Structure 1
Amino acid sequence: MHRTALLRCLLTVSLMTQVSGLETLTSKYGDPIEIPCNKGQFKESDVTLVKWKYDKDGNILVKQLDQNATISTDVNYKNRVSIKKDFSLIITQVTMADQRTFTCMLVWKEDILEYPVQLTIYKVPSHPQITNLTTAMAIGKPTMLAQCRTEGASPAANITWFKNKTPLMTDGAAIKINTNVDVDETRLSTTTSTLEYTAVKGDIDAKFTCQVQHIWSANMDSSPLVFTVNYPTEKVNLQVVSQGPFKEGDSVTLKCTADGNPPPSSYSFYIDGEKKTVDSNIYTLTNVTRENTGDYKCSLVDNEDIAASVPITVEYLDVVLSTTGKIVKNPGESLEVTVDVNASGAAQTSWKKGNAKLNSLPKFDKLTYSDSGMYECVVSMAGLKETRTFELVVEGPPVIKNLIKERGEGMTKVLKCVVEGSPKPTVQWSVNGTSAESAYEHGKVTYSIIIDPKGNLTVSCTASNVLGADIKSINVSALVEDVTMDKQDQKDEYSDQTTLAVGIVVGLMLAVLAIGLAYWLYMKKSRQGSWKTGEKEDGSAEESKKLEESQSQKADV
C-alpha cells in the first residue's frame, strides 16, 4: 500500500514538472525579488507542507500548515528570505550568486508537487572610463590613443569606438581595436578596449569617443577626445602685420607662419638680401626709407626651399614750394609761384587762400591789395599729406580814390573819403564832425564825416600810413542849391577818367560841327539875299566885313 502511494506520488511530481516546465525570472542586481510558487494558485488550507530549495541540495525554508516558516541556517539566505501566504519566496538584495534555479515543493492532499524557477540577475555597467590616454599622434605612425574600460556588468558590456560619430572597425592596418572581458569572483564582468590608430592630416580636430553598450541600459558615451596631430611643415606664409600704406620713418612688422605641427620655433628672414635667423616668427623693420622698397622672404631654418615672400612699398612724397614765409610786394608788381612734387605715385594738389578753396595754382601778373593773404598748398597721396604755406602782403602808400559830398539830414552834409593803401591808412579831416568808417577790405576803406556848414568851406581829407600820405580837398556851401550841385559833382567825380576824356573829345567835335554849320547857314543866307534884291552876288568889302562881324557875334551868343 505504501509502495503504491509512493509510486503514485513520484509519477505525479514527474508529470507536473513536465507540464509546468521551467519558469524564468529576471531581477536587477541589488533589488528584492519575489519568486512565485505555481503562480500562487494554491490555497493555504489545501497545502500541508511547503519547502523552498535551490539547485539540488540547498535548503532555504520549510513551512507546515498552521505553523510559522522555519528558515535554514544557510549563510546565503538566512537573513534575506521570507515567505508569503501564497507561498511566494521573497529574497532581498539579490546578488549574482542568486542567479540559479529555485524550486517550490508542495505537499498537496496526497501529492508532492515541485515548481522550479530559473532566476537571472543583470547589472548595468559603469560609465566608460578613459585610461592610458596619449596627447598627440604623428601622421603615418601607429599610436595607442587610449583605453576605454567599464566595470560591474552582467551580462558583459560591449565597447565601440567612434571618430566624429562614425564607428571605427579594426582593419589590421590603420585601426586596431583590442577588446578583453574579465569576470571576477562576484560573477561581474569588466570590459576593456584599447584603440591603436594611425593618423592622417584630416584627423586634425577630430573627436574620438568610446561607447559602452549593454542590453539592460542605454548607450553611454565618454567625453570627446581630441588629440594633437603632429606633421611636418610643407608650406610657410609671410604676411605684413603692420597697417599700410607705409611712409618713410614707419616701422614694418613681418610675420612668418608654417603649416606644420608643432610649428617651428625659429625662422630665417631675408632683409635686403641678408639672411637673419631669429628665434621667433616676427621681424620688425624700423625707420624705413624709400630704399627699403622691395621683396622680403622668410624660410625654414633647416630647409630654405620651403619659403615665402611678400613685396613692401615705402611711399614717399617730396614737395618744394618756390615761395615760402612772408612775401611783401607793391601793387602792380608780379609774383611767380611754382610747386615741385616728387612722389612714389600719383599725387593730388589743392590750394586755399585763407578758408577759400582755389581752383588752381595762384598767378600774380599784376598784384593788387586783394591778393594779400595766407596761401596754403596741400599735396596728398596714398595716406601721405604735405602742406606748404606762404603769406603774401601787398603794401603801398595811401591814395585817395574819391572825395565826395552828399546831402545829410536838414542842412548837414556827408563827406566821404575813399582811400586805398596798405597797411590800413588813417584819415585826418580839416573840420570837426561825426566820423565813421567802413570795413577795411582788399586794401580799401571809406571814411565819412557829417558836418553842418554855416558858410562856404574848403574841407581837406588827409590819408596816411607808414609808407606815405595823400591829401584832397572839396568845396562845401551852406546853400541848399549846393546840395544839388554837390550831387552833380558827386556824379561827375565818380565818373572814370577815361569817360571824362571821351566827353571832352566829343564836346570839341560838337563845337567844331556847330561852327561849321553856322558858317554854312550864313553863306547860304547871304546868297539867297542877293538873289532877292537882284544885286550882284559879290558885295563890297565893307559889307562882307559887317556880315562876318555880325555872324561872329551870333556865334559868341
Structure 2
Amino acid sequence: MTLQQQRAFLCLFLFLHARSVWARVEVTMKDNVEVYLGDSAEIVCHYNFTEANSVRFVMFQWFVKDKGSSSRIRIYYAVEDNKIVDEGTEYSGRIQVTLDQHKTQLTIQEVQLSDEREFICQVNGLSAGTMERKTHLRVFAPPGSPVIRGVQTGISVTNEMPSKVATCEARNGYPKSNITWYRNNMPLVSSAGLVNVWTGDTVESSGLYSVQSTLEYQVVKEDKDANFSCEVSFFVPGDIMIVESSSVGITVHYPPTMVELWRESPQGLVKEGDTVELRCHGDGNPMPTFIFTRKEDPDVEFDSRGNVLMLQAVSRSDSDDYLCRPRDTTALKEVKGEMRLKVHYLDPAVLVPKESEVMLKGEDLTASCNALSSEKTSVVWYKDGNMVGRGNMLHLQDATYETAGEYVCEVTVPSVPALHTSGSVHIVVHGGPQLVGEEQEVHLEEAVGRMVNLSCEARGHPAPSITWIFVGSQNWFEVFSKSSDHMTHSVVSVAVKSDISAMCNTSNDLGIDVRAFSIKAIPLVTTSAPFSPEGSGVIIVVIILCLLLLAILGSVLYFLHKKGKIPCGRSGKQDISKEKTAKDDIVVEMKNNANAKSEDTVLLKAVNGDKNGTNDQ
C-alpha cells in the first residue's frame, strides 16, 4: 500500500468514526498464555461493540513489546479485507492471524525463548472508540533429569564443620529450576552448623538455564547407611513438574565404639604345641590396626599383622587374658576387646614302681600311674595288648609266672583327645621252678627200636635249668632247647631198646621240681626164654626209687651249696661207694678237680646225667 493510499484510508476511517460516536468497543484477553519451547502459541483477543449495528468499520492491530525498551512494535494490522503482516520484524514469517465476528487470534509458530514477552491486541471501532489488551506469553523448557554425584572420599564424623556430601545438576531448562535435597526421603533444610545448600545457575548459549546445587552436611555414624538424593522442580504450562534423582551413599569415617576379640583357630580346646590365631574387630570405619597385649604384661606389645595375632607352639605359660585395642583412635573413650586363652596340657606319665619291679611268687603289688593335666584324665592299663585295668591304680594279687611281663598305662584327656601319654613298668616274678603240666609221672609204651621224644618245660625265675637222667638206655640226645627269663624248655629223643626210666630235673636258686618218665618196651619177637614178671617188676621199682632218692638228694645238696649252707674246701676227696649188689646198681662219685673247675661247677653225675649219651650201664 502506498503512502497516498494509507492517507486516504485514514481519512475514510476518521469520517466513519465521526458518524458512530454512540457505539463503544470492549476487548478481553488472558493475562498469560503458556507454551512449551518449540510449540505453537495461540493468543486470542475477544472484542465486542455495545451497538454493533452502528459500527461499519473496524481496524485490528497486533503489537509486541520490545524487550530492550518500553516501546512496542506492530507486527500485524487489518482493515476490512486488508490483512497485512508487517515486514522487517522477527515475526514476519512466523505468525498467522485469523479474524471472525468476535475475536482475532494470533498464532506464533515454533515459539522461541525470545517470544516470552507481552503481545498487545488493539481494536479500533472509529466512533465506538479504541481499546487494547495484552497477554504475556510464557515459554517453558523442561530440564534434563537431575544428575547427582556423591563425594568419593570418606567423610569423618569428627569434622567440626559440615562437609561436602554431593552435588546435583539439572541442565537446559527454562525458566530456572529449583533443587531440593533429601536424606532417606526426608527433605533437608539449611541449618547453621548442620546443613548448608549452595545453589547456582549457568545461562547456556541457547538461553536455557543449567542449575547446580551443592549439599554440605554434618555427618554422623548413622549416615553410613543413609541415602542422599536431590529433586528438581520446574514449571510447565499449567503445572509444576518434579523429577527425582537416583540415590547415592557416602563413606563415613568414624572411630570404633566397640571392639571384639576372638579365637579364629584352632577349633575346640587349645593344647600345648598348637598354633593359635586371634582376631580383633571393631565397628570403626575404616577398620583400624590393633595393638595386642596380655593382662599380665600390659606394656608389652605382640608382633601382629593388622587385626591378626599368631601364637606359635603355645604352652601352658601362654594361658592368660589377651586384649586388643585400636592403635590410632580419636574416640572419646578407650575401647578394647578381651578374651581368655587357656592352653591345656598333659605331663608325661609317672609310674610307681618305675621301670621294673621284682615280686615273689604269691605276693601282691599295687602299681600307680599319674600324669599332671589341666583337665580330667582317663587311665587304662594294658598287658600284651589286652586291657587289664582302669584307673590310676593297678592291683596285682597272688603273683604267678603269668603275672610277669610289661604293663603299659595309657593316659588320655577325654575333653582334649589329642592329649595322651603313656608309661610302662616291667614286672618280674621270682619263684622256684614249676614244671608245666600236672603229671608227676608219665607212663609210655613203645615198640623196641623206635625213637621217643620226651618234653620237659619248666617256669620259674631265675630261669630254671633242666637236666635229664636215663636208666636203661644209652642212646639219647637233646633235640630242642629254649630258655627265657621265666621259662626253660627241653626236648630229648631216646632209642627204645628195653624198658627205660627217665627223670627230668629242673632247679634254680629258689627250688627244684622233678618229673619221672617210664617207657615200657614192647618186643617185636616173643622168645621162649623163661621169664619172671614178678622179679623183673621188683627190680624196676627198686631202681626207680633209688633214682628218685639220688636226684632229690643231689638237688638239695646243690641248692644248699648255692645258698652257702655247705662250705666246700679245695683240699680233700670224698668217695661215695656202695657194694654192688646187682648188674644195674649205680656208683656215684663226687670229686673236686682243682686244676679244671671250682667247687661252684661240681656236678653230680647221677643227678645231672650225661647229655652226650656215653654213660655205661
TM-score scaled to structure 2, two decimals?
A: 0.50
Correspondence for 1:343: 373
Q: Is the 8 A contact 1:154 1:188 kept in 2?
A: yes
Q: Identify unmatched segments of 5+ residues in structure 2.
A: 1-11, 48-55, 66-71, 428-433, 440-458, 460-514, 518-617
Q: Which amino acid aligns with 2:219?
A: A
Matches for 1:226-265 after TM superposition, within 5 Å? 226-232=249-255, 236-243=259-266, 244-265=268-289
Q: How many angstroms does 1:245 deviate by?
A: 1.5
Q: Quick one: which of 282, 305, 313 aligns to 2:308?
A: 282
Matches for 1:29-68 after TM superposition, within 5 Å? 29-36=37-44, 38=46, 53-55=63-65, 56-59=72-75, 65=81
* Deviation larger for 381-390 or 367-376: 367-376
Q: Is the 8 A contact 1:321 1:337 kept in 2?
A: no
Residue 137 of structure 1 pairs with residue 155 of structure 2 = yes
Q: Quick one: which of 3, 13, 17 aligns to 1:6?
A: 17
Q: Is the 8 A contact 1:128 1:212 kept in 2?
A: yes
Q: Quick one: which of 4, 22, 29 aligns to 2:30?
A: 22
* Deviation larger for 346-355 or 125-134: 346-355
C-alpha distance after superposition, 1:204-223 (max 9, x if no partner):
33222222122445432333
Matches for 1:426-441 after TM superposition, within 5 Å? none
Cα 1:237–1:193 change in 2 (3 A) is: same
Cα 1:62–1:199 change in 2 (3 A) is: same
Cα 1:338–1:251 change in 2 (3 A) is: same
SS in 1 for 2:175: coil
Cα 1:295–1:113 change in 2 (3 A) is: closer
Matches for 1:243-392 after TM superposition, within 5 Å? 243=266, 244-265=268-289, 267=291, 269-270=293-294, 273=297, 275-276=300-301, 278=303, 280-301=306-327, 307-318=336-347, 320=349, 338-348=368-378, 360-361=390-391, 365=397, 379-384=412-417, 385-386=419-420
Higher-helix-fraction structure: 1
Distance 1:357 1:167 in 2: 81
Q: How many angstroms does 1:246 deviate by?
A: 0.6
C-alpha distance after superposition, 1:29-68 (max 9, x if no partner):
22233445649xxxxxx99987655344241587985x9x
Correspondence for 2:246: 223
Correspondence for 1:211: 231
Q: Which amino acid aligns with 2:90?
A: N
Distance 2:316 2:91 in 1: 98
Q: How many angstroms does 1:108 deviate by?
A: 9.5
Cα 1:6–1:183 change in 2 (3 A) is: farther
Q: Is the 8 A contact 2:289 2:327 kept in 1?
A: no
Correspondence for 1:551: none
Q: How many angstroms does 1:306 deviate by?
A: 5.6
* Deviation larger for 275-284 or 111-120: 111-120
Distance 1:36 1:392 in 2: 127
Q: Is the 8 A contact 2:63 2:73 kept in 1?
A: yes
Q: Which amino acid aligns with 2:230?
A: C
Q: Is the 8 A contact 1:398 1:470 kept in 2?
A: no
Q: Identify unmatched segments of 5+ residues in structure 1.
A: 40-45, 402-421, 423-468, 472-557
Q: How many angstroms does 1:286 deviate by?
A: 0.3
Q: Is the 8 A contact 2:16 2:126 kept in 1?
A: no
Distance 1:351 1:52 in 2: 124
SS in 1 for 2:232: strand
Cα 1:71–1:317 change in 2 (3 A) is: farther
Distance 1:110 1:470 in 2: 178
* Deviation larger for 191-200 or 348-357: 348-357
Residue 124 of structure 1 pairs with residue 142 of structure 2 = yes
Cα 1:342–1:370 change in 2 (3 A) is: closer
C-alpha distance after superposition, 1:162-200 (max 9, x if no partner):
222222222222222233456667654443333222233
Q: How many angstroms does 1:133 deviate by?
A: 3.8
Cα 1:165–1:62 change in 2 (3 A) is: same
Identity of aligned residues (%): 23
